[in-house]
Structure 1
Amino acid sequence: MDVDTAETRGVKRKATTQPPNEPPRRIRALHQDVVNKIAAGEIIVAPVHALKELIENAVDAGSTSLEILVKDGGLKLLQITDNGHGINRDDLPILCERFTTSKLKAFEDLTSIGTYGFRGEALASISHIAHLTVTTKTQDSSCAWKAHYAGSKLTPAKPGQSADPKPCAGRQGTQITVEDLFYNVPTRRRAFRSASEEYAKILDLVGRYAVHCSGVAFSCKKQGDSSSGLSVTSNASTIDRIRILHNSAVANELVEFTAANERWGFKSEGYISNANYSVKRTVLLLFINHRSVESSAIKKAVEHTYASFLPKGGHPFIYLSLEIDPARVDVNVHPTKREVNFLNEEEIIEVICEEIKASLAKIDTSRTFLTQSLLPGSKVPTITAVTPMRQGVNTQTPAKGANELPLSKSDSQRPSAQKAYENNLVRVDNKARKITSMLPPGQRPSGPTEAQNEEPAPDDMEYEYSEKEHTICRLTAVKELRAGVREEMHNELTDNFAKHIFVGVVDERRRIAAIQAGVKLFLVDYGMICNEYFYQLGLTDFGNFGSIRFNPPLSLHELLALAAAHERQTAGNIEGFDWDEVVTTIEQQLVGRRDMLAEYFALEISPEGELLSIPLMVKGYTPSLAKLSNFLLRLGPHVDWNDEKGCFQSFLRELACFYVPEALPPPQVSNASGVEEEELEDPGITMRRKQLHRAIENVLFPAFKARLIATKGLLKGVVEVADLKGLYRVFERC
């Protein structure tokens, strides 16, 4: 018996097998049925993709009501009924043929797509892998027409009958029934794990379009169920739709969002969750030109924006509808239209994220926090609502700490039954007794007493409000400097400053203060912190500084000469170095750049060389004017006047250094008999000491809490000295 040892056609040849000596195979066109099934497999990957195409077609038809019926996750039955304008009876024979559409006429129309569907492949693809039935009625038709399709062609409902559409009773609109999806592609059908999982995907998709399509009613349910899995009325607002489809917790914390830019040709609107709401995973409902799509770039950028507002591990809810000029969008890049490409993607994302950040910053003072009672041992915690303060007043927004958790409405109405243990109790009021009051009398800082600290002392400066409008800085150099600060951000340290409680000034000579963050106590170099804060404030308020005006004006030459004399005394006489020439050069340099200094930094100098004003950076705190002459002298050699970015950076660094609180000599110490060992302190220093204490506690540290971005360089100025839980463990061992 002869055995045929030839290779079986279609079996993959092994690498070690020698190729047979036969001519190369000829290239042949695939059978049209194979082509159609390949195309169908690309477009209809799962039941949810088939439903997406059908929903988009129904909305394109002007429908105001969509009813969806599902069986076995859409594999057995997928039916959608709408009340749109319907399909003409004469169009039914070619309805399911590939590339038949009412939305395109020429290739150029792809550049101005304003509808969901446009390629005419959805129904054709479905008809090749399922049994498709279409029942439709137009407004001017006396009856509805019912047609069955298979392989893009009309087919009879039963063998032996005519394939032509049959008249039947029906309401205006279209009903599309898809049965036995993937019946002729068994490998694809076996790939689906469970019907419930596919049904969940369908509900998610319908929910997305139900949120976006205002004025359209949606309902979706399983066949045989008495209740709907999803139901939205046509007159429901967007907020109500989110409340129905998601939950009230997110609907109550939404902020309306809009952004637009004519240069990049887009506008966007939607709703974003505020800082009171966070979940474990980002929920992003993204629509570009009213089509539900996905964008990892937008999602990552939005998550990065929220990182500075939400606690670690928290994520937001965002519904974003983005409308871009159709000429800038390529919608034909993905078979299921799940992804789109558009021009200037990075610029558009940057504008959106900046607007989100601004929207969150506006409402960031309205969070609700749970804090412990001021009375130790109290069983019922106090709920404190932090409300926005009057505009123009420094506001401090607490961040979420170890004992500060957002409350839902139901939680806030019932007292907590859990007792707070002592090793978790943290300081929540900076007016309570300070650690410095426990020091021996001779070692206490001579700042204001606790009674004096109850109300901030009024500033001795007179303020006038001008009608100058706020200007938006569009300088690239300033934007790059701001980005540099954000790149150096240390998240944990920033969070500690955002939720800290001021304890007191520990050493005013070395400029050290104590703060508490959570259950930890830190010593911080407030001189270093102030330097970084005022630099960041200079970048944030660039071009919008206030002014400290001098009446009468000061002589710029005399101030520079005074600083030069001090430097000459400190450094000694240097051979060949003319200090008078240095003073003249710096004076000419500042007078020559007076327009730029006045516009950007509010440093006004008259043409005659008189100093009219210096920048006012923080209301309620005045820098030491004893440092003014040295500040002006350093503007000559320490500012890079030849480079824009270098000029802005070096000038703001010098300005920050000028605003840093000066180091004061140690206070007078009393001996054991209570008599001063030395003469009494100069009254001017005593007054300045009190002013600094008030400003540090009531102005500067609250400003750190609200606005400081702690950079990695500040780690050198912060030292942890105590941890409440660690101390309790030590005491327990004792």
Structure 2
Amino acid sequence: MTDEMEITPPSPRGTKRKGDESLPLPAPRRIKALAQDVVNKIAAGEIIVAPVHALKELMENAVDAGSTALEVVVKDGGLKLLQITDNGHGIDKEDLPILCERFTTSKLKAFEDLSSIGTYGFRGEALASISHIAHLCVTTRTKESSCAWRAQFADGKLSNPKPGQSADPKPIAGRPGTQITVEDLFYNVPSRRRAFRSSSEEYAKILDLVGRYAVHCAGVSFSCKKHGGSTTDISVPVAASTVDRIRQIHGSTVANELVSLKAENDRWGFKCEGWVSNANYSAKRTALLLFINHRSVESQTIKKSVEQTYTTFLPKGGHPFIYLSLDIEPQRVDVNVHPTKREVHFLNEDEIIAIICDEIRTCLSKVDTSRSFMTQSLLSNNPKAPFATPIKPNTSATSGTDDANNRSNSKSALKKAAKKPYENNLIRTDASARKITSMLQTHPSVDGAGAQEPSDQEYEITEKEPGACRLASIKELRTEIREAMHNELTDIISTHSFIGIVDEQKRIAAIQGGVKLFLVDYGMLCNEYFYQLGLTDFASYGAIRFSTPLDLRELLKVAAEQEKENAGDAVDEVDWEDVVDTVRNQLVDRRALLLEYFNMDITSDGEICTIPLLVKGYTPSLAKLPQFLLRLGPYVDWESEKECFHSFLRELAAFYVPESLPLPPQAMAADAKGKGKTREVEEDAEIAKRRIKVRNALENIIFPACKARLVGTRGLLKGVMEVANLKGLYRVFERC
């Protein structure tokens, strides 16, 4: 049976099989030109891929038109309605008939102009593309026009709004600028319209785009909201700085950790400015806001290079925030490489990216030195700080007491709403917690150390009630304090916890604010506190009455002798006797004013009976009294009311500031083996006594009073230094 079977031999390998030659060949198809409407829809589909691309084209046209305010209204993610209103220079009525024709533009005349393009738009395809796939309405008014003009467009031509009506633009009332309304996007491209999954996803893309341009376009206000909504999802004022714009769009967490970045290179023809997050900030994904010649673009090369740079500084899985604005010479950039202009090509890309990454690495290294416990001031110099301050003091208050009440109310409200903190927010001391020292009874010890010195003053309460000060000069001085208030510093002082005195010679103390540790120049702090206290209680001071009146001339002589010792070679240039007589006569002649406003009683014979009392329980060093009296002559402007009160209160505040004390003495004693040992050396009893009084006054009187009444001003920023941050330390240990 096998012999009878016919077996077809296999065909040799590589032999091409022939088709069925009996079938007729199809006739060749002819090449034809596409219909114009098909061409326009294809072009529109390349340029307008989604509602966000239509909005991008319209926003860029608005900014090109010199607008300073852009308002965006969206419905159903931009598919139902996309409206943008600007206050630019508008469109002439004569240009409206060709406004939506393809390749009509006012920004490009010759092909060579592409090598130096400096505007967002240049091809003249945006409005044409939109008119082919949506219902387009344009309302515009120029500065010279007496009214606005409204026109409807369809397929690049003027169209009538209703059947039977003329297609010509119609005059209507309107404000200068242009309003473009896009309705029913992709109504004639159903396959494209069905591709969008949800309107909320498209609206999120629109918010991201508006946020990008809101950060970059300085001097332009932006707002974006849903149609019919009562609140705006994005609202950026025209005067906001770049950091404030980032704060408004991306939050305070990012804005508080930004570092300024600048780089340039003449060889590669570029300049770069921007803001990047430091090593204290990290997110789950990288946020890159990249603008090249003010055009929002994307670049995976730049993104990956920057992320690689941050791997050294961020914990594993952390990503940065980067805003970069590159100005590259126009002839080095090709902007016409993508239908939606999402990408651009430029020369020497690798070299430019390397320079930017090196500059980022340098900036992060400088900031990161604060983690090596080097003192660095991290408080902002912005007086308003509208977004960084968790508690806003009431600036309409006329006294420090009102500010304290407002802050205490705010703090109590925060306590009620407080949640369990994370570990990196836990602190060892709490300003609101009771201290163990409050449970101890103070009594004089045998050696006098560690105990509060009992007061040798007797207080007498008078029936005089403080009245409201109606002097315009004092009100102006109080207003200056409120205008100079620094919200963040005020909040730190009002919620601080006193740690202790670090250096009594340099007058430095340590306080804790939140999870941060600060070194404070308490001499500067006390000076500002007593000055503000003098303004708040003006003309209502208490009095320190001397049991025996002091002779004014003798006190001035003591101060003059001190000045002689400090004058050096210039001691013979001044007639000190004449200085003493002049200052004495000035004070005696103005004794009525001193008594009425400052409770400083000087007799006609030149004897001092009382000096102002600012704080009960605290007496300034009377060793500073002669110097205080002598300075009231040349350093007080007695001719101008406002300057008189200002300069006198400054001198009074300097008198009340605790004096600088020498450090406790130490001596090295050598034992028999030659090894040095440190032992305490007894210091002067009067200095030791004064040291105890100063420490007690600072911890128990002055700093608690500053916590309740002091308004932190911008001038105090120089005296506050941050030395440790708990959150920053946690990030250091995360990378270890």
Q: Normalised by the size of structure 2, how large is the TM-score?
A: 0.49
Q: Normalised by the size of structure 1, how large is the TM-score?
A: 0.49
Rg comparison, structure with higher value: 2
Q: State the structure with bigger RCO (CA 8 A, min sep 6), 1 or 2.
A: 2
